[in-house]
Structure 1
């Protein structure tokens, strides 16, 4: 498969795999902060250098003042790295947008040659190590923002283990970052793919169907249930293909391929605006950017990766 269809956020592989180490054994020692580099997150946006890649700051940088506690990410090329939420900073003339991807950028007056960007907008601009670290940073800082109180007794909890736990001082409950499993499925029948579009998506955007795995449910059962609920199509055999961390806010996309046993579509209008069977020739047009009505998937997300793999016979 072409390099530009590689999975975003999956981390470095092969010879580069040793560049990033989560180094979980160091989380119990706060000594890592003295020599660390910190990448801040602002309201879910990551700090990107103008020259490309994540931007890193020393732990005593003034832009980090007043932010949340630093979270240890691991080591990058042997050096400790962390992240910190600085969402309390309010930039002047803050633009508000309800677009699928926020195109606005924010520049902190104390940070040179870098700006905060929507991770969805910059998904294809990071190398494998920076992409993984950006995803972890967004997910872990978002968890701390949304889980400040103990789920057992309601008391305010505090970060522990360099940000990888929260502990309640009142009832001693320990809470861990959550990851929500989501199935995303490439459903085929007679050399056609089943694609759908959700309400609110940009015009011409179609993708593989997807949905959350429910408690007590297998991945295979979730694939069959979600496809049937949204389109009325029955799926038979299901196989696992690949997975992708998806920090919006904290999902794990479990990519599967399924073979449909039925073809008729009965649309759930709450979940989908449209669903269709697309023949291989049209799918190829979509991926080549030549289809008259359906836009090419973005590079980075697993949906386009699954579709490209299907076209390539993977």
Structure 2
């Protein structure tokens, strides 16, 4: 499966990990006319009148960077730098004026209509700016932190501390669980708050001291009461909403018994391939078009995994 074309995985350019540690180089790039800005307002994308993400350059770009509460280098596009700029400290109207925008939008509502690299760049910007806003103080001593390495590190300014903070990533697993019988079936579950036919794959966060495969086995057992044997890695997806990394697996159930926990899940059922195809083609679909879960389900059903791919 072509997981490299999943939404939010195609960040273009060179992340310039070495160069971003040089404050003089970063300052010079912030002042250049060819520098491109990716302004965000409270995790929302700022859109032009044409409905495309605003990415001002030149004097307009420098005005955005000057007004930003936080900037972060995303990449080098050739020789031009691309910086995220957080305008969350001003009112939305002012943020739109600075960016030359006409409206703001949630990135996930735009992903299917954007080219893959554009969606990935916006997700990268969103995640990095969100982390900077959440890491203003040190978790060890409570002292204020300052931005370093062009927004990729924060350093505690507390007396005698100096702790370095790095962007937090929260890994989560998502699994397509197959039945052991001769007739292929997969497990879907309905969570609390889901619509009556809102079945989806099982997923959950990885806990401390746990492998990814172990997290799959624990989540499926805890929530659905299904014992899992072999767990096979399929692919991963950046998921900065706000700080996730989704890791996809196919897992083999030991038997078909189900005992939902009643806390996370309302019900769980086995579906055969014909039922999955019917759900995807004529029913509720395979889930959000930007999610790895839909890709796992389409691949298992033998359908085109490119359907609904952003930028295709």
Please give the range of the TM-score, normalised by the shorter of the 2 chains: 0.7 to 0.9
Match of 2:206 in 1: 213
Match of 1:89 in 2: 90
Q: Is the 8 A contact 1:38 1:59 kept in 2?
A: no
State yes or no: 1:306 paired with 2:275: no
The alignment of Structure 1 onto Structure 2 pairs a total of residues equal to 291
Unmatched tracts of structure 1, length 5 or more: 13-18, 93-105
Structure 1 residue 60: deviation in Å?
4.9
Match of 2:272 in 1: 279
State yes or no: 1:136 paired with 2:124: yes
Match of 1:69 in 2: 70
Q: Is the 8 A contact 1:204 1:295 kept in 2?
A: no
Q: Is the 8 A contact 2:70 2:129 kept in 1?
A: no
SS in 2 for 1:136: helix
> Aligned partners of 2:288, 2:14: CA distance in 1, in Å?
28
Q: Is the 8 A contact 1:196 1:276 kept in 2?
A: yes
SS in 1 for 2:45: strand
Match of 1:177 in 2: 167
- Output one character per residue of 1:248-292: Cα deviation in whole Å (capped at 9) or x when no partner: 11111010100111222211222123322111111001221x13x
Match of 1:28 in 2: 21
What is the TM-score normalised by the length of structure 1? 0.85
- Output one character per residue of 1:101-123: Cα deviation in whole Å (capped at 9) or x when no partner: xxxxx982344455321112112
**Larger deviation: 183-192 or 241-250?**
183-192
> Aligned partners of 1:121, 1:91: CA distance in 2, in Å?
19
State yes or no: 1:58 paired with 2:57: yes
> Aligned partners of 1:64, 1:204: CA distance in 2, in Å?
46
Match of 1:103 in 2: none
* Superposed counterparts of 1:3-42, under 5 Å: 6-11=5-10, 19-29=12-22, 30=26, 31-35=28-32, 36-42=35-41
> Aligned partners of 1:90, 1:41: CA distance in 2, in Å?
12
From the superposition, tell whether residues 2 and 218 of structure 1 become closer, same or farther in structure 2 (CA, over 3 Å).
Answer: closer
